[in-house]
Amino acid sequence: MPARERQLTYEDLVRLVELIKSTSHFSEFRLKVGDIEVSLRRANGAASPRTEMAVPEKHEAVQQSFAPGMHLVRAPMVGTFYRASAPGAAPYVEVGQHVEPDATVGIIEVMKLMNSIEAGARGTVREILVENACAVEHGQVLMVIEPR
Amino acid sequence: MKKRFDFVDVTLRDAHQCLWSTRMTTSMMTPILGAIDRAGYSHINILGGAVFDVCVRYLHENPWARVKLLCERLATPCDALTRGQSLYTFELFPDDVVELNAQVLARLGVKVFTVYDALNDNRNLESSVRAGRAAGMKINCWMTYTLSPVHTDAYYVARARELVGLKADYLCIKDPSGLLTPERGRTLFPAVVKAAGKVPVQLHSHCLSGLAPQVYEVAMQSGFTHGYTASEPLANGASLPATEEIADRALRLGFSVSLNKKALKEVADYFGWLCVREDRPAGKVAAYDPALYRHQIPGGMISNLRSQLAAMKLEHRLPEILEEAEQVRHDLGYPIVVSPFAQYIVTQATLNVVQGERYKTIPNEIRKYAAGYYGKLAAPLSADFLNRIDLKEKELVNIRPGERIAPGLPRLRAELGPSASDEDLLLAAFYDRKLLESLSKPQPEYQYRTTPLAELVAWLGARRDVEYAHIRFAGTEMTFSA
């Protein structure tokens, strides 16, 4: 059988690349092992760029006050509030509209599932405090209904 | 004559779905297709719901183009998986869309059409089976394994009989959370093989409990004909067992195996390197964790839940939520803890815990599930839950779910015009137009072969920080300089 020249194997490659990766903070890399020889020079031998962690914005709690006797529709959970059943569809309710207690006034998406929000009282929608597709906190007031 | 045990490869589908969040691109696959083809697999699974969806949403690859390319390049029969009436998503589609999908897959070269329903309601497979067979593909029907008081051996025997009635060419037990044990296999497997009669039975089990390789042995001994496995670096853990290991076990048990060890080694070496090149994890053998058998929620979903809870500053309530999930699953009639029902259970449990009251809020999707909109439930809803949900008579669905859905193609044809291809019609049925715009970007030129040396050169070439490189290996010597 004719002698075949040894080929670089994937095992060689994995070991080599792991070595190169682990020395990325040096500007020069030279390796000679068996019949493999590798030399590298890097432009910036400085430490690899550190990934900055994004700092989440702090939401300031807004003090809200409502006229006495109003019915407040609150978010049952942390989630995303939607005013319509689908993008482009008409909102469930508008300010000034009359609603029955079991009327759906919006949807809260919690962990990708949709939860219908009911008015909870018969009356007139006086205020809608959250814009479509906004994140809401648990217990946050979504709408104000004047009961009658 | 020795009995044979055959293998179905999942490296290009479920393996990276479980370990790499389904992020393997077509260009990562093409250089190794030749070796995979020579490895001696009986079928190669190339498509599933998550692969289709990730192609569109994240990789911006046209999934049909991938299916076509893989079917053309692989002489081994290719297998494509859909979620029955839900195809690649979790909504239900009309029968005409389901039928066109089967025709398109067959035309692109798919030979084995695999379908399952997450409720094991086999009525949800009927339209796929009929269309897939008419299009000339072999039909492979899965039933999903889970643990509950109602998912008994008799339950699976009844499901297997239904699938035989549908004239499936193959049956398969799919164990998405790796819950099967050798003990259960010893009663369940022979019962299913008997019910299947002449239809060959396959096993598809994940390795989350660490017991899957032993479970595969029990399957072989019980008369199963095929096992789904992955190339060693992308096997184990959340993925499936390694082809190499299951082949060794089959040989030790006296089965004949038609695998090519040299080709398998080539495939494994390539994917081992790909893990390093792409900074993606290789599969690790899982340690046995008895908690898996209680809430059954797969590890991937728990880590996802933990980060969602952290965003809501509720991380400390995770243990309570997992405990509540057991109760919710009971109340909901033991849905199988897979998508989308795993999400239902976890979300309802979270709502119950956070609101301090069970079923104060019930998501709309759970309401539909409870009414039978997605199919038959495995067990009745609990009295407590029924009391809270207050389902109206007119909400209840008793017929095959697909029957309630109006045909979708006439509207899509009208919208897209006569020049639209069947592939485009289907994409438009699944996704909104804006999302599909990114699929028209040109794909990179695919490489159909590579060598470790070529990979090294390409890797170094892609590193912006390297301004000079000199490599000498045996008779090869090269220098690059910026």
The verdict on A132 touching B (C-beta cutoff 8 Å) is no
Using DSSP's 3-state secondary structure scheme, residue B160 falls into helix
The verdict on A9 touching B (C-beta cutoff 8 Å) is yes
Using DSSP's 3-state secondary structure scheme, residue B90 falls into coil
CA A39 to chain centre: 43
Query: E strands of B1-158, at which residues?
Result: 6-9, 43-47, 78-82, 112-115, 138-144
The answer to whether the Cβ–Cβ distance between A36 and B472 falls below 8 Å is yes
Ramachandran angles phi, psi of A46, nearest 5°: -65, 165
Place of tokens 């039978």: B372
Using DSSP's 3-state secondary structure scheme, residue B55 falls into helix
Q: Compute the average pLDDT of residues B263-277.
A: 97
For an interface test with B, the pick among A111, A114, A116, A137 (most B C-beta atoms closer than 10 Å) comes out as A111
- Spatial distance between the Cα atoms of B83 and B104, rounded to a whole number of angstroms: 16
- In eight-state DSSP terms, residue A120 is -
The answer to whether the Cβ–Cβ distance between A110 and B350 falls below 8 Å is yes
The verdict on A124 touching B (C-beta cutoff 8 Å) is no
pLDDT of residue A2: 46
Whole-prediction pTM:
0.87
pLDDT of residue A55: 41
Query: E strands of B279-370, at which residues?
Result: none
pLDDT of residue B163: 98
Is there a contact between B171 and B196 (Cβ–Cβ < 8 Å)?
yes
Taking CA atoms, what residue in B is nearest to A136? B312
pLDDT of residue B309: 83
For an interface test with B, the pick among A19, A26, A109, A110 (most B C-beta atoms closer than 10 Å) comes out as A110
Nearest to B273, CA basis, from B451, B106, B102? B451
- Return the sign of the alpha-carbon dihedral for residues B348, B351, B356, B357: negative
B366: confidence class by pLDDT, cuts 50, 70, 90:
very high
- Spatial distance between the Cα atoms of B442 and B62, rounded to a whole number of angstroms: 10
Q: Compute the average pLDDT of residues B333-353.
A: 92
Per the structure block, which two tokens stand in for B108? 């692109």
The answer to whether the Cβ–Cβ distance between A111 and B354 falls below 8 Å is no
Per the structure block, which two tokens stand in for B32? 């190794």
Over its C-alpha atoms, chain B yields an Rg (Å, rounded) of 23
Is there a contact between B66 and B107 (Cβ–Cβ < 8 Å)?
no
Per the structure block, which two tokens stand in for B196? 């299947």
Is there a contact between B259 and B40 (Cβ–Cβ < 8 Å)?
yes
The Cα of A7 is separated from the nearest Cα of chain B by a number of Å equal to: 8
Taking CA atoms, what residue in A is nearest to B470? A39
Domains and CATH numbers, chain B: 6-277 (3.20.20.70), 292-402 (1.10.472.90), 452-481 (no CATH)
Taking CA atoms, what residue in A is nearest to B344? A113
- ipTM confidence: 0.80
- Spatial distance between the Cα atoms of B263 and B250, rounded to a whole number of angstroms: 18
- Spatial distance between the Cα atoms of B271 and A134, rounded to a whole number of angstroms: 43
Nearest to A78 among B312, B343, B474 (CB): B312
pLDDT of residue A48: 42
Give bridge partners of residue B175 from the DSSP assignment: B205
The answer to whether the Cβ–Cβ distance between B364 and A36 falls below 8 Å is no
The answer to whether the Cβ–Cβ distance between B466 and A42 falls below 8 Å is yes
Taking CA atoms, what residue in B is nearest to A46? B465
Per the structure block, which two tokens stand in for B176? 């998405």
Q: ω before B340 within 30° of 0 (cis)?
A: yes
The answer to whether the Cβ–Cβ distance between B363 and A41 falls below 8 Å is no
Domains and CATH numbers, chain A: 10-41 (no CATH), 71-147 (2.40.50.100)
Q: Compute the average pLDDT of residues B369-391.
A: 96
**Would you say residue B188 has pLDDT above 70?**
yes
Interface contacts (A, B; CB < 8 Å): 116
Q: For B47-63, write each residue's pLDDT tens digit.
A: 999 999 999 999 999 99
Place of tokens 């690649």: B88
The answer to whether the Cβ–Cβ distance between A6 and B474 falls below 8 Å is yes
A147: confidence class by pLDDT, cuts 50, 70, 90:
very high
| Number of other residues whose CB lies within 10 A of the CB of residue B146 | 22
The answer to whether the Cβ–Cβ distance between B364 and A18 falls below 8 Å is no
The verdict on A12 touching B (C-beta cutoff 8 Å) is yes
The answer to whether the Cβ–Cβ distance between B452 and A8 falls below 8 Å is yes
- Give start and end residues of each alpha helix (H) in A10-73: 10-22
Mean pLDDT (chain B) is 94
Place of tokens 């300089």: B481
Q: Compute the average pLDDT of residues B138-153.
A: 97
The answer to whether the Cβ–Cβ distance between A39 and B346 falls below 8 Å is no
Which DSSP helix (H) or strand (E) runs through A142?
A: strand A141-147
Q: For B280-309, write each residue's pLDDT tens digit.
A: 999 999 888 787 887 787 666 777 788 788
Nearest to A110, CA basis, from B321, B171, B84? B321
- Spatial distance between the Cα atoms of B466 and B432, rounded to a whole number of angstroms: 43
